[in-house]
Structure 1
Amino acid sequence: MIPVSCGEIADAVRGELAGVDPSAVVDGAVVIDSRAAGPGGLFVALPGEHVDGHDYVGTATTAGVTASLTTRPLDGSPCIVVDDAQRALGDLARLVVSRLPDLTVIGLTGSSGKTSTKDLIAQLIRPYGETIAPEGSFNNEIGHPLTALQATEQTKYLVAEMGARNNGDITYLSSITPPAIGLVLNVGTSHIGFFGTQDNIAVAKGELIEAVTPGGIAVLNADDHRVAAMRSRTKERVLTFGEAPEADVRAEGIKLDGEGRPSFTLHIGDFSGDVQLQFLGEHYVSNALASAAVGIACGLTPDQLVAGLNSATRVSEARMALTERADGVTIINDAYNANPDSMRAALKALVAIGRSREARTWAVLGEMLELGDTSRDAHDAIGRLAVRLDVNRLVVVGAGAKPIHLGASLEGSWGNESMYVDTIPEALELLRSELRPGDLVLVKSSKGSKLQSLADALVAEDVQ
């Protein structure tokens, strides 16, 4: 973090100093885990479901932090006392970002693909300036300011992924890091249980476009009519991406190779160039186009973008991660998150790879969370799609996902191809007994459904 005095921090977060010299400087890392605390840093004591950060303030003090951000004074530890530590964390990040006038903030949101696109954008622009991007899916009221606080005077780009479960969430996150470039990927059904309708989701996602700073650029998906309509929510320049003929950054001739990796011709104005992505699944084409449009907004040339897209690799775990086991079974781990759009894309990739390898395909699917009243129909539709795509075997795990099995069973031609189990151990036992060399297995669910542990167990298998 850039150096900031405790007095300045107290003013910014509306706090009071307790045992702290106002001239003492915080110039180290801002952390919420006392194990990461170090000299010159700031420890933020957040309440949690199982632990209270205040119990670890002493540990942070011993580690050498300049102060801790707390909601009450603590004897023996220098504290900046506030009413709400989480809100104060955001206020501090807002102060730091405001002191970095040369920093370009790239904000992005969408119902699916945020983290993969964030990773791709960072890879494209990092060669042209120091870039900060969140690890994993650090996109909420805690992860977002913690990422912003990593910026220094040397940082040129801050890639800020923004999630939302309520109206106003993105407006709040954007107030911490006002975006010079605002990207909306899509409006799907993820979190529809919170918002009720896709139109309501569009209202929330469009808050990012309203927040684009004067002279900035809004980047919109021309293939998604709800996103394209957000053009009316800004007076700033708009760049579009997609397969639509009118898109500023456009893909033509999309193909999947034998490993399920998409290639296409990238068109930007009069320029055209060949792109071969290293990611699995056709849905990565939209992520790549969005990233290229952001690259254009950052001043990169089309040739630089093609080179960057062709060399980019997967960064975050459990996102279409392919592992070849020693016994000849291949696992595709996409268990980090799931919604109907990403589930469909993953199934299509599974079938494409299986067809090229002449492999038996398995889809091991768990529940897609936060779909509200649409949940049963959405899961049913995925089961029916698995049949229509001719996935060879379907294993559905957990009561919340059971409509996938029911939908597949009712679709028509299947007999024992679809199986339902209640628990992850049951699924693992079934797969251990029935997988054979050459099989291709997709594991996908929402993170809360915890199929990641099943994917990890399958990857670790080494059956000879």
Structure 2
Amino acid sequence: MFTLEEIVGATSAHIYKTEKRNFSAVVTDTRKISQGALFVALQGDKFNGEDFAADALLKGAAGVVVSEECAPEMLKRCQGTVLQVTNTLTAYQLLAKAWRDKFPAIPVVAITGSNGKTTTKDLTAAVLSAKGAVLKTQANFNNEIGLPLTLLGLKKEHTAAVVEIGMRGFHQIDALAPIASPQIGIVTNVGETHMELLGSLENIAKAKQELVESIPAGGTVILNADNSYVAGMRSAAKDGVRVMTFGIEEDADVRGEAIHTEGNMSKFMVTYQNERHEYTVNMVGRHNVYNTLAAIAAGFAMGLTPAEIRKGLANLEVTKMRFELQQVKDWHVINDAYNASPMSMTAAINTLAELAKGRKIAVLGDMLELGSVSEEAHLHVGEEVAAHGFTALITQGDMGDFIAKGAESKGMTAVYRCASHQEAADKLHALLQPGDTLLFKGSRGMAMEKIIDLL
């Protein structure tokens, strides 16, 4: 994978000790050590990878990368090649970039947005799979560690890579995008996610726009025409960058029409370059049609035909807990518990209301990181539940109380506040009838899927 000279060239590392000069892989977890690997000792608030550097070498690693501040006694314990750098995380990222740069002919698609990143990533990878093997971000490993981890998996047999880039503040995308060197950038939408950190939708849009600004001349930016904040990013594209839009309501280069649901599938027409083609995706909900349109736009940007795009969509493998339909005993369960924001909560409630033919029960937890808009946003979610005729609402969490209040303000009476997963499960066991449809959703920290397990 890397020679010692390549590692030093990429990271400007100081060679403390040399034993082996070739490295078969780059890892940050001693549980994933393979023979000949290079172990990069990352540091966090609650751990220091340098504590495990010597063990990594004993397990078969050929070398380790540690910081310049690594304790002398730790260095002496290391039996193998030892490299020292100013910052091990930066070194890890530089190694990932160096590896990505070894495959300049493999196009990288980068995706950001307040909602739908992971689903759009899955859909885009599926579309592009019509041409061959595609590397994609696993789960939602989209941060300063997850993005390098993904890119270090790039192989010559890949025909494309699709990566998520997360955003928790200004300049994070600025820092991460160059590691991936994407030729295509997709912005799904701008919503209230991370409001606590950035304070306004305008600031969130500005931070997301960093992806648009990172795409070089000759590349393509794909924007949501129906989201005014995203549509406004067109002017941020560099000269020589192609801008494509997708949408349903506004004029767009890739426009969805005649949307309808058949069972667990969505069918719709797409107009592109004055031609109309029908597509089917094994997902439901208008929000997922938007995600699919973004993926179709990426396919067209890379020269795929409508037939190839349809073929690719048939290969779709969706990340778990993203509006995942499950059968639990006699109940229909929608497990959308991976994460939540005001935009995705509303979409999930609307979609379930359209699909469910019998009683509907919402089991909702807190939406985190909303800052000053949190109470209002949770009240609105409760109002949406009541407006869509749900039979019952179960909430969990401090902000869940405001979801309950919102529903009650619109006349809903079957509202239950629960202090734990077990209490929520117990309440459901008392309420549920055969054929009921349940929606589970909340921010990742709420782990609402645990209630499903208790059922």
Shorter-chain TM-score category? over 0.9
Structure 1 148/373 Cα, relative in aligned 2: closer, same or farther at 3 Å?
A: same
CA distance in 1, matches of 2:101, 2:315: 31
**What is the Cα deviation at residue 398 of structure 1?**
1.3
2:66 paired with 1:62: no
Percent sequence identity is 35
**What is the Cα deviation at residue 422 of structure 1?**
1.6
Q: Which residue of 1 is the match for residue 254 of structure 2?
A: 249
**What is the Cα deviation at residue 245 of structure 1?**
5.0
The 8 Å contact of residues 225 and 250 in structure 2, kept in 1 or not, is answered as: no
Q: What TM-score, normalized to structure 2?
A: 0.94
SS of aligned partner of 2:399: helix
The 8 Å contact of residues 279 and 313 in structure 1, kept in 2 or not, is answered as: no
2:289 paired with 1:295: no
What is the aligned counterpart of 1:197 among 200, 203, 208?
Answer: 200
Q: Which residue of 2 is the match for residue 177 of structure 1?
A: 180
2:10 paired with 1:12: yes
Q: CA-atom RMSD, angstroms?
A: 1.6
Q: Which residue of 1 is the match for residue 452 of structure 2?
A: 455
Which runs of no fewer than 5 residues in structure 1 stay unpaired? 459-464
**What is the Cα deviation at residue 161 of structure 1?**
0.5
Partner letter of residue 257 of structure 1? E
The 8 Å contact of residues 258 and 352 in structure 1, kept in 2 or not, is answered as: no
2:404 paired with 1:405: yes
Partner letter of residue 103 of structure 2? L
CA distance in 2, matches of 1:212, 1:414: 49
**What is the Cα deviation at residue 312 of structure 1?**
4.2
SS of aligned partner of 2:333: strand
CA distance in 1, matches of 2:160, 2:56: 30
What is the aligned counterpart of 2:95 among 92, 95, 100?
Answer: 92
Structure 1 74/217 Cα, relative in aligned 2: closer, same or farther at 3 Å?
A: farther
2:45 paired with 1:52: no
Q: Which residue of 1 is the match for residue 330 of structure 2?
A: 328
What is the aligned counterpart of 2:245 among 223, 240, 255?
Answer: 240
CA distance in 2, matches of 1:54, 1:240: 47
Q: Which residue of 1 is the match for residue 427 of structure 2?
A: 430
What is the aligned counterpart of 1:111 among 92, 95, 114?
Answer: 114
What is the aligned counterpart of 1:135 among 138, 145, 149?
Answer: 138
CA distance in 1, matches of 2:197, 2:9: 35
CA distance in 2, matches of 1:39, 1:332: 43
2:388 paired with 1:389: yes
Structure 1 319/456 Cα, relative in aligned 2: closer, same or farther at 3 Å?
A: farther
2:376 paired with 1:372: no
CA distance in 2, matches of 1:211, 1:8: 26
What is the aligned counterpart of 1:211 among 193, 214, 222?
Answer: 214
SS of aligned partner of 1:283: helix
SS of aligned partner of 1:395: strand
CA distance in 2, matches of 1:154, 1:172: 27
SS of aligned partner of 2:97: helix
Which runs of no fewer than 5 residues in structure 2 stay unpaired? none
What is the aligned counterpart of 1:83 among 68, 82, 86?
Answer: 86
Partner letter of residue 43 of structure 1? F
SS of aligned partner of 1:438: coil
Matched residue count: 446
2:367 paired with 1:362: no
Residues 259-280 of structure 1 show CA distances to partners (whole Å, capped at 9, x for unaligned) of 4x42211221232222222113
Structure 1 282/440 Cα, relative in aligned 2: closer, same or farther at 3 Å?
A: same
**What is the Cα deviation at residue 315 of structure 1?**
2.3
2:309 paired with 1:305: yes
Matches within 5 A, 1:140-179: 140-179=143-182
Stretch of structure 1 that moved more, 152-161 or 234-243:
152-161
CA distance in 2, matches of 1:456, 1:32: 31
The 8 Å contact of residues 130 and 309 in structure 2, kept in 1 or not, is answered as: no
